[in-house]
Amino acid sequence: MSVALSELDAISAQELAALIKQYNPKSNSKLMVQAYNYGREKHEGQYRKSGEPYFTHPIAVAQILAEQRLDDATIITALLHDTIEDTESSKQEIAKLFSFEIAELVDGVTKLTKMQLSSIETKEAENLRKLFLAIAQDIRVILVKLADRLHNMRTIRAMKPEKQVQKARETMEIFAPLAGRMGMQSMREDLEDLSFRVLNPEGRQSIIRRFVSLQKETGDVIERIKSDMLLELEKADVHAEITGRAKKPYSIWRKMEEKNIPFSRLSDIYGFRAICENEADCYRTLGVIHQRWRAVPGRFKDYISQPKSNGYRSIHTTVSGRDGKRVEVQIRTRQMHDVAESGVAAHWSYRDGERSENPFSVDPVQWITRLIDQFDSEDDHSAFLEAVKLEMYSDQVFCFTPKGDVLKFPKGASPIDFAYAIHTRIGNRCVGAKVDGLRVPLWTRLRNGQSVEIIVAQGQQPQSTWLEMAVTGKAKTAIRRALREADRERLVKMGAELLRAAFEHVGKKPSDKALESAATKMRLSDREEMLARLGSTELRPRDIVSMIYPEIVVADVPKVDQKRAVIGLGEGQHFDRQQCCQPLPGERIVGLAAAGRGVAVHAIDCDVLARYEDNTDLWIDLHWQDGKHPAAYDVTLELTISNDAGVLGRVCSMIGDTGANISDLVFVDRKPDFFKIEISIDLSDIEHLHSVLSRLEAETEVAMTKRLRRSELAKTVH
């Protein structure tokens, strides 16, 4: 079913019923035919974008699910999955004609279809939560939805190009990894490759062309290697079914991107699978293959003894085959293979007329429920999205605790993840780790089979850099929570220092009652909340000062007589001191005639003046008035200071001691050892600036000071 169905090509009701009877003789063929005819009647007169009758789509979805040997209710749901949304049919009518179970499933698929999963982050996170809630109620809902998306991707070319890209991206980001996380590897590969065909058609065609060229050069490599393997197994009296294939174009492309190598340097582009009669034969087959061909170091994984969390079991090995070509070999039993290909669908599939009780199938409801709980406890919805996508895309590694317990982690997990997996308290106090008895950095990536011991210490707190080391949602959530709590304490201290410096500047010391009153006037919960906002620069210290002592602030900031501050203005002209260079009294200045009667005042060395070299008629010769100017001219400084207790407070105090007022403070970059801040201060002249810079440069905890000038802040003149 790789091409669109026409009405004549579509499988008939009787053919569909017969197909299901082959694996489930107890199937209710009469009800199946009734559902088929009901769906066809309801969709009568409706057409797809390609011009084909719409009902060809539900038939194709039903056939995809029948090929996975699913139960009657799931296949009938596929036939009816668009009736509630696109026809006058109702949930009540479907329940009456078929069953309450089928009506619930159809309604569940309808709700999923209405979700716009690719949206802004908060809405996307909420919709993903709804998606998981629907899956948790009945896993068959997502089986129908995945089959629906698979057929839509196979026939996507009838859509407008921009709609194709939207659907392909949504498939690549949500549905393909979800299919993989639920163990449906074959479905995942098909969805990825169909999306790849839309998102990067040139890249996909390039890989296909190279495959064709390679086959012309080497002949049918797959058949030759398959024959070699069967011969060796026959010699050892081991029975296994061997299949081989070239890997999907998207799988090849992803490997090229990850390893940053060209197609010509890829070695394991062929994959082989050995399906054995029992588990013992799996290991015998492995022995035969390793005896005949050289195993590639580091490429052996035993997922039979250590299964993946989605139930996947198989032995993986890579060997050097004919002509030194690397080939990947997967070895497993038939039951393991059913789970590997169909994932959770294997839990609902039939074999020989009975629901197959596959011992290896795993219901992912537990995983989904945990994600829903995490969403409900996480304030930051983008963090939930990050956790979901990490877990959906992740492969697994298995590590041991010192007591021998096995813990599972996503690929790329670090000792930080291991510590939080044991307990949040252990994670928060982690100071180091031993892997297989050797001390390792916390950023070390764990590998399968390693034994990990976490070293803790009282008083240790999570660091912001841990977020880059951790990959599990649990660890990241716990680290963010701890950082928020610790950050609040630090912000309160910073706010208190800033406020103390501001009040010292006006010679006052406010009471606790006055600060509580100011917080109330600002509609904040308490004084601590006000100090935290001061520390995070959401509030300015002078706003608090002006609220408590308005008369002092007014007296402290005298109004500048603009007509007398700058000499050289014409009659009725006023000056506009430019923020690109923030000129100060004592610096050479020049004016540029601006709109109306305004004059833009720049420092003589301002980069902006170069734009007006050919318009000398706009230039006006200006200079500052002699005498002492008030501290009313703002200048922005960039400081790099140590991230130690009290440093910011001392910096603010030093600035206040010079008679300058801090009008604004912004954190540009926060590192574990340094902060980079931009601080705006009100000065009287250039000498005042030199005094402030000298005091700051003498401070050992101030690593760098710089006066900021930004040409993009200049106003246009004419």
- What is the distance, to the nearest Å, from the Cα of residue 111 to the centroid of all Cα atoms in its chain? 25
Residue 144 and residue 61 in contact, taking contact as beta carbons nearer than 8 Å: yes
In angstroms, the CA 328 to CA 273 distance is: 8
Q: Identify the active-site residue in 7, 71, 85, 687.
A: 85
Residue 543 and residue 534 in contact, taking contact as beta carbons nearer than 8 Å: no
Residue with tokens 């590897």: 185
In angstroms, the CA 621 to CA 248 distance is: 72
- DSSP per residue, 430-495: EEEEEETTEEE-TTPPP-TT-BEEEEE-TT----TTHHHH--SHHHHHHHHHHHHHHHHHHHHHHH
Q: Which of 602, 608, 596, 595 is nearest to 620 (CA)?
A: 602
DSSP state of 173: I
In angstroms, the CA 322 to CA 330 distance is: 18
Q: Identify the active-site residue in 71, 86, 173, 699.
A: 86
Alpha helices in 82-200 (DSSP H): 83-86, 91-97, 100-114, 121-137, 140-154, 161-170, 176-181, 185-199
130: left (phi over 0), alpha (psi -120 to 50) or beta: alpha
Q: Which of 629, 696, 628, 687 is nearest to 662 (CA)?
A: 696
Q: Which of 554, 475, 531, 556 is nearest to 649 (CA)?
A: 531
In angstroms, the CA 32 to CA 13 distance is: 7
Q: Which of 324, 327, 601 is nearest to 316 (CA)?
A: 327
In angstroms, the CA 17 to CA 30 distance is: 8
Classify residue 219 as exposed, middle or buried by CB count within 10 Å of its CB (0-12, 13-18, 19+). exposed
Clarify whether 86 is annotated catalytic: yes
In angstroms, the CA 494 to CA 300 distance is: 54
DSSP state of 567: E
Clarify whether 85 is annotated catalytic: yes
Q: Which of 627, 624, 569, 621 is nearest to 598 (CA)?
A: 569
Residues in the chain: 718
In angstroms, the CA 438 to CA 457 distance is: 18
For helices 541-548 and 473-505, angle between their N-to-C axes, nearest 10 degrees: 50
Q: Which of 327, 328, 277 is nearest to 301 (CA)?
A: 328
The bridge status of strand 598-603 relative to strand 574-577 is parallel
Residue 144 and residue 105 in contact, taking contact as beta carbons nearer than 8 Å: yes
Catalytically active residues are 85-86
